[in-house]
Chain A
């Protein structure tokens, strides 16, 4: 995606002047962020630069002290993760937030189970297990994860990459507007990381914008369309990985260089 493409479109998710302090520690010091349709926006930054605080504010896990978040140009007031989720922003946490002893289908629908139609569902509150299993399979297949066949398998019997796939599939299935991924490859091996990166590309191919937080520069440069660099609670700039080298990105991150070509 080139810069001119970006400027033509309206951002799906937009943050202006986000401030978040923890006592005397300033987590975010007036951060702006734009996420455009169909792009992967990377967020990098040193430890303590405010990456986590930023995405927590975007996903409702933290409430910013000042600033506004816009979803499709409408200002949002998230009081918790539920609000963000209801608005169509799904998050894959670093811990994945899966219940290990429950099966894949149960995890995909955890907290938003489908009930059977008719009085079986409305009065006897019976779950539509067969339907959820069927749809879970479809969601997993849509992400190109064909290796997992049995949706009734407990999540703890899966490999790290497969678990990540379940968490991403859950976000993709319910994230109608934005999917946020926090360090999705941090705990994975080379092959599994490759699968997750492919999943991120697939999400973009489906038109879903993705915010990706990662420490891993090669991964970031492989999938991100633009990279938002956090430094000391502020946005040090947004770079295009096609035209900026990894070394320059690190230099901006650590303050050795500054960004000249910022996205307007």
Chain B
């Protein structure tokens, strides 16, 4: 995240005001900075959490522990890329985890049953992932159903399909082509071990941060979520943009399925069961507004890392797992409260 000279609160041009010039309080200045940089608050929280946990347990900052956190975060983090783009359009996708599992199962199945090479399986996986996005997106944009309802439905449908296709059986990693397991391979960077899956997650953040910020499509994603009617009047084909977002998200979901296979070392229909909601948690804690049009992708990475750091740090500090879950719940509510406060920035 780059903070340039614009990071200072923007007071804008001073206008002649008839009455008393209202003085900006400290809280208002904080509000404006956060309004301009939605990723700032999760960044501060992550930093504070890191400092506190490193004092509570000296093992927290060990390279081995940090790379463990990254590996634990990789799947939810990558799914968060897809989820963020959908939330930016003022949508929500409850089915990302289920879509990931059906995609994973299809990839592994064609590899084992047909014996097709890994590259072909990956391409089939990408197609399957985009198909899940097409189904969700078409129901949202053509049938005009609320995204919440659509993806609540497809969550069940994709889950049932996963169980049908896999027969509930885990496909052993030893049977899978090495390319599908490549995301589990490790790379030594000094004393830090990093998996290809983690690198792939970072690559997704880099690529899509760039696309969202630097291309017309990215700008339209924000505009559609911000004010769909205004976007339409400005000449944006809003339905097409939303449909494309679901399909791009489907491709990201397929790549996440690849990361999942590497992380688990096999293709299990029961892996990543909490991923649906965890990805929304990461998006929300990362400062992206559920009302759409506001937020930055990097915030979701920070949000996923915050959850990972809290769970890991509290575990190292010997705190019961129920308090980890409790802490994540508090984080979500605080994050949404902060979002509401920021959105009320004084005009």
Contact = CB atoms under 8 A, between A and B. Distances in A.
Q: Do A and B come from one complex?
A: yes
Question: Which of A82, A110, A147, A153 has the most chain B CB atoms closer than 10 A to its own CB?
Answer: A110
Contacts of B230: 95-99, 110
B233 A125 contact: no
B14 to A, nearest CB: 9
A250 interface: no
A241 interface: no
Q: Pick from B36, B215, B216, B236 the residue with the most CB of A within 10 Å.
A: B216
Contacts of B234: 97, 99, 107, 110-111
B219 A110 contact: yes
Contacts of A85: 235
Contacts of A82: 235
Interface string B60-90: 0000000000000000000000000000000
Most buried by A among B12, B35, B231: B12
Given A81-B233, A111-B231, A99 B293 contact: yes
B30 to A, nearest CB: 15
B215 A125 contact: yes
Contact of B345 (A112, A126, A156): A156
A251 to B, nearest CB: 35
A150 B12 contact: yes
Contact of B13 (A93, A96, A100, A149): A149
A167 to B, nearest CB: 10
A159 interface: yes
A113 B226 contact: no
Interface residues of A, number: 35
B177 to A, nearest CB: 32
Contact of B216 (A97, A127, A153, A156): A127
A97 B233 contact: yes
Interface string A91-126: 101011111111000110011110100000000011
A133 to B, nearest CB: 12
B235 A112 contact: yes
B219 A100 contact: no
A101 B215 contact: no
A242 interface: no
Contacts, number: 89
B20 interface: no
B142 interface: no
A99 B6 contact: no
B223 A110 contact: yes
Contacts of A129: 214
Contact of B215 (A91, A93, A127, A156): A127
A81 B215 contact: no
Given A125-B216, A159-B347, A99 B231 contact: yes
Contact of B15 (A107, A115, A154, A159): A159
A157 B231 contact: no
A125 B217 contact: yes
A102 B229 contact: no
Interface string A118-162: 000000011101000000000000000001111011101111000
B214 A99 contact: no
B222 interface: yes
B27 interface: no
Contacts of B229: 95, 97
B235 A81 contact: yes
B293 A93 contact: no
A138 B335 CA distance: 39
Closest 8 CB pairs of A and B: A111-B235, A97-B233, A110-B234, A113-B216, A97-B230, A111-B234, A99-B226, A99-B223
Given A102-B219, A102-B223, A157-B345, 4 more contacts: A125-B216, A126-B214, A154-B35, A158-B347
